[in-house]
Structure 1
């Protein structure tokens, strides 16, 4: 005898989405600060490599202060602030998607959280969960905000940021050291490589934050509209996606 599991209950995630977007905006500001500081470090260390006589001791102390007292805690702090609400919203959105399409999900719900922390699987499992959310939240016509292009773009930018932080500094450090003269300040070369790598990954981080805000907004609005269409929440939110041929005033 087969047993049909009950559908997951829909829960409005608007408040959690608002908190997540606010923290993503804060992360965006931190990324801007990160890029600006690393541009300064890259400029000073480039001068230390090619024009050492033009660099003052105050500039060197300033670079050391940024590298050792500011930047080491800036990225972990912004990640810690955003990670918990974002993953909580990601899981809630996955459960909501299953409430709209019971049994249609291709990835188990546990991957909505585990996909972010399991080594190697973290490279693609959150993307698969995101596409489950996209498909499960789809409206029965073409008025969908959550598109495959939006989801894939967000994930590509996130991977660019993550891989840039993880591997690009080591690659650039090796390349620059191979090209350096024998009397070049090795510490300055390494500091320059890490600063340039952080600028590149920081740009990916800025774009990823923007894409994440768009994804969060699109998923939240579309799920509320889908729930309204199914009678799961108050019809007052149905005006977000009025029926074909129906204007907003008549929704």
Structure 2
């Protein structure tokens, strides 16, 4: 009589579970997307209310009139959106860092981009047009060479660039009072940018889930534990 003893699976050195960091990144994206939906709703409210007879909040030469209740609430909505984006950024970067480290352990080769770009790649001018996406794609290719890249990755990045380059999305140059003035006079560009940001968040959810699934499957295969 032969008794077969199953050997416990061993996770290769350097690999870390990626599921939970992926779920946190998804949660951060959904939170940011929801915050920008609220953002858009408030801009519509401002447009429907119309500019007060006293003019825009910022009246030039350092003069600011008292805000209306609606304008003041928009400032609060903007602050909430900023907090949501910060949480989204922290959770996404944490996921991206783990994704990158696991890809290096799985492939045995160094990543294409240095670790500093996991952070600076989002804020450094010009390179922020391709480096963050490049880090995701590099990690995916190192994890599963030859595997087709999920369409959601390119959709997410394209929408992110639209929202960023529009100047009124996640990264904008105008002050909150200037955005309020624009909502009174030209709300449609603001709403178009909001739609791009929300769509980028939704596409990002699909991208994170798809890339996480690919790496998790590869890690289970390497560990010899298909049911983990």
Asked if these proteins are the same fold (TM beyond 0.5), I'd say yes
| Contact preservation (8 Å) 2:28, 2:89 | no
Deviations 1:58-87 (CA, angstroms, capped at 9, x unpaired): xx934323334x233122111111111110
CA, structure 1 residues 191+31, in 2 after alignment: closer, same or farther (shift >3 Å)? closer
CA distance in 1, matches of 2:37, 2:181: 24
Whether 1:220 and 2:212 are equivalent positions in the alignment is yes
CA distance in 2, matches of 1:72, 1:191: 13
2:130 to 119, 124, 135: 124
Q: Structure 1 residue 134: deviation in Å?
A: 2.1
Q: Structure 1 residue 150: deviation in Å?
A: 2.2
CA, structure 1 residues 121+18, in 2 after alignment: closer, same or farther (shift >3 Å)? same
| Contact preservation (8 Å) 1:115, 1:125 | yes
Q: Secondary structure at the match of 1:81?
A: helix
Which structure has the higher relative contact order (CA within 8 Å, separation 6+)?
2
CA distance in 2, matches of 1:9, 1:152: 28
1:72 to 78, 92, 105: 78
Aligned partner of 1:236 in structure 2 is: 227
Whether 1:134 and 2:140 are equivalent positions in the alignment is yes
Whichever structure has more helix as a proportion of its residues is 1
Q: Secondary structure at the match of 2:227?
A: helix
RMSD: 3.1
TM-score in terms of structure 2 length: 0.74
Bigger CA radius of gyration: 1
Aligned partner of 2:88 in structure 1 is: 82
| Contact preservation (8 Å) 1:8, 1:96 | no
TM-score in terms of structure 1 length: 0.68
CA distance in 2, matches of 1:28, 1:74: 12
